[in-house]
Structure 1
Amino acid sequence: MRDLCKFLSGAVLLSAGLASPLAHASEKLKIGYNNWVGSAGVFVAQEKGFFKQAGVDVEFVPFKGPSDAIPPLVSGHIDLALTTADNVVLVNARSGTDLKIIYATDTSNGADAVVSKKGLTSLADLKGKTVAVTQNEVNELLLLKGLEKAGMKPGDIKSVNMDPDSAGAAFVAGKVDAAVTWEPWISQAVAGGGKVVFSSAQVPNLILDVVTVNPATSKTKAKAIAAFLAAVDKGTAFVRSNPDEAMPLVAKRLEVKPGEVKDMLVGVKLYDMAGNAKLLHGPVAAQTLDNISVFYSSRKTIPKTLKGSDMVDASFVQLH
């Protein structure tokens, strides 16, 4: 789904901006993002004018996928990126950058899964079967976590390298026995008689969507960043308290129907400021990054293992 229904096709300029002591109206932020349902709080904040009320002028720059915003973030062309935690690990390990995670918008809570064809009702049934998965990326880590829980080894299956969309399509077409994919392919697979045998809901916070920043920017634009995150928190609260009004607003950004947004949100867990306090001030976010780093290092995807806590900056998250 992160490449199918998350993105806008052209460059979109969105000015927003709330009167708050956190920021002055002249302060600006350029945000790189992809059209992912987990950013519902961000989209609602923009549509409801929460950024404007916070006194921060926001320019949103759309990218095709969560990794595409990383190069312009590193080069300084944007101030913040809405991306995934694994991308932060990859770029920091490969290029020696020091990007920091300052907030989590959501975590996949079933929106990524292992689906199997009819008659294969558990991971154990996949022994000797062909499984489509994006090798050396975080959804392979999801598969490996599932195999581990089932008492299986990677060599027990026949892994075929495909991106999540291609894996979903191949599964629906009957070309593979199982696939590691995301929505809407999961729903299509189940509708066709397939079964979810393992999902991200069983490994909380493994696939985490985050806000990341260069340390230099976090210092020079600290007030604007704090205002931005406060507005996002307000947007997330609105999604929860006013779903009937929020669903059409998110649907507008995703270019889908409100009912589809409601269905998509079932597969993710949105995080507010209180949730981020537990994630970032506690050990969870750092442990997630540690798991990803160890996985990539074992696969030789990155040259060295990084320490998760070194990639977390909790200074913008209020303790509750």
Structure 2
Amino acid sequence: MKKSFKIFFSMVLVVILIIPIAACSKEEVQKVRIGEVTRSIFYAPEYVAIEKGFFEEEGLDIELTTTSGGDKTMTALLSNSIDVALVGSETSIYVYAQEANDPVINFAQLTQTDGTFLVSREKIDDFSWDMLKESTFLGQRKGGMPQMVGEYVLKQHDIDPHNDLNLIQNIDFANISSAFASGTGDFVQLFEPTASVFEQEGRGHIVASFGTESGMVPYTTFMSKESYMTENKETVEKFARAIYKAQKWVAENSAKDIAEAISPYFEDTDLSLIETVVDRYKSQGSYATNPVLDEEEWENLQNIMDEAGELPKRVDHSVLVNTEIAEEVMK
């Protein structure tokens, strides 16, 4: 009887000791809800950070949602449906221009070039940009980074996008590829892996990269409301550190290894195609090698917006960009 009591008492004691430890562990794990503007191989470091456990190492539990479009992503952030948005930096300027009481702050850059490609319906062996003149060009949504960079590049090649060609930009982001597949347009501006899928299926042919033509720009950045960053400073720092770990991993590993790591996010895409796309983005320097969004890139962004007639007001780098967090995690 005494022996049974001792065993029972020992079991109770173990449970009493385990519960507080489990509770502490649970409290240390911070859930962070990310809303990504689209699902794309362009965002490979984000998926690497999740799959390689870099977020988990920092005590973060990530809930990832694809919010399909910059306007929807920013609405989700401002309404507290998500904590962190992965979207073009131009959206933070739009919010600031509306005199928001709680501005959106860019704190970790993920991509540093445009991620779209020019796809032709017909195969072109010797492409030149002037071939777009008098053609029908299926561009991206007005006011978004893809459209602004697209117009910027066209102008760099002496093409007036509103007079030298038939520019279509009233189709919803999610339906652009379907519109081209159904016969709309001679040329289209597409993200990967859609551009390569179209090429593989013979529906189109990649003839140029907007990323190599436009230069360095904070194309996609992790951002959050200023209030969230103030209240969750340590969480944001852990988040940025996990992203930096992923960026280094992507820089140090092959396109094949990266493709294998992110393949769960592209189940309907062949692994070889994912590898091709990753290699293309790596070759043109699209993946940022660290999370710092520097002033030169910020100014290039605003110049592109200004050229497109979409810059509501010029905003100093220090107002909407926090580099202290990124610089701290890089030490």
Q: TM-score w.r.t. structure 1 length?
A: 0.76
Q: In structure 2, what is the equivalent of residue 141 of structure 1? A: 148
CA contact (8 A) 2:68 2:174 kept: no
User: Structure 2 regions of 5+ residues with no counterpart?
Assistant: 1-26
Deviation at 1:271, TM superposition (A): 1.6
What amino acid maps onto 1:286 in structure 2? W
Q: How far, CA to CA, are the matches of 1:246 and 1:198 in structure 2?
A: 21
Cα deviation code 1:211-238 (max 9, x no counterpart): 0011122122111111121122112222
Q: How far, CA to CA, are the matches of 2:300 and 2:119 in structure 1?
A: 24
Is residue 2:317 matched to residue 1:306? no
Q: Specify the SS of the correspondent of 2:168.
A: strand
Is residue 2:306 matched to residue 1:272? no
Q: In structure 2, what is the equivalent of residue 30 of structure 1? A: 33
Select the structure of larger CA radius of gyration: 2
Q: In structure 1, what is the equivalent of residue 160 of structure 2? A: 153
Q: How far, CA to CA, are the matches of 1:46 and 1:195 in structure 2?
A: 30
Residues 99 and 200 (structure 1), Cα distance of their counterparts in 2 relative to 1, 3 Å cut: same
Identity of aligned residues (%): 17
- Which region of structure 1 is more displaced relative to structure 2, 58-67 or 113-122? 113-122
Q: In structure 1, what is the equivalent of residue 265 of structure 2? A: 253
Q: In structure 2, what is the equivalent of residue 106 of structure 1? A: 111
Q: In structure 2, what is the equivalent of residue 222 of structure 1? A: 233
Greater fraction of residues in helix: 2
Say how many residue pairs are matched: 286
Q: How far, CA to CA, are the matches of 2:175 and 2:276 in structure 1?
A: 22
- Which region of structure 1 is more displaced relative to structure 2, 65-74 or 236-245? 236-245
CA contact (8 A) 1:164 1:181 kept: no
CA contact (8 A) 1:40 1:236 kept: no
Is residue 2:216 matched to residue 1:209? no
Residues 164 and 242 (structure 1), Cα distance of their counterparts in 2 relative to 1, 3 Å cut: same
Q: In structure 2, what is the equivalent of residue 286 of structure 1? A: 298
Residues 44 and 246 (structure 1), Cα distance of their counterparts in 2 relative to 1, 3 Å cut: same
Deviation at 1:160, TM superposition (A): 2.0
Aligned ranges 1:45-64 → 2 under 5 Å: 45-54=49-58, 56-64=59-67
Is residue 2:79 matched to residue 1:75? yes
Q: How far, CA to CA, are the matches of 1:207 and 1:225 in structure 2?
A: 19
User: Structure 1 regions of 5+ residues with no counterpart?
Assistant: 1-23
Cα deviation code 1:70-119 (max 9, x no counterpart): 2232123432111222332333334635111111112345x412233346
Q: Specify the SS of the correspondent of 2:325.
A: coil
Deviation at 1:242, TM superposition (A): 4.0
Q: How far, CA to CA, are the matches of 2:54 and 2:209 in structure 1?
A: 38
Deviation at 1:59, TM superposition (A): 3.1
Q: How far, CA to CA, are the matches of 2:159 and 2:251 in structure 1?
A: 39
Residues 245 and 168 (structure 1), Cα distance of their counterparts in 2 relative to 1, 3 Å cut: closer
Deviation at 1:202, TM superposition (A): 1.2
Residues 126 and 102 (structure 1), Cα distance of their counterparts in 2 relative to 1, 3 Å cut: same
Q: TM-score w.r.t. structure 2 length?
A: 0.74
- Cα RMSD, aligned residues only: 3.0
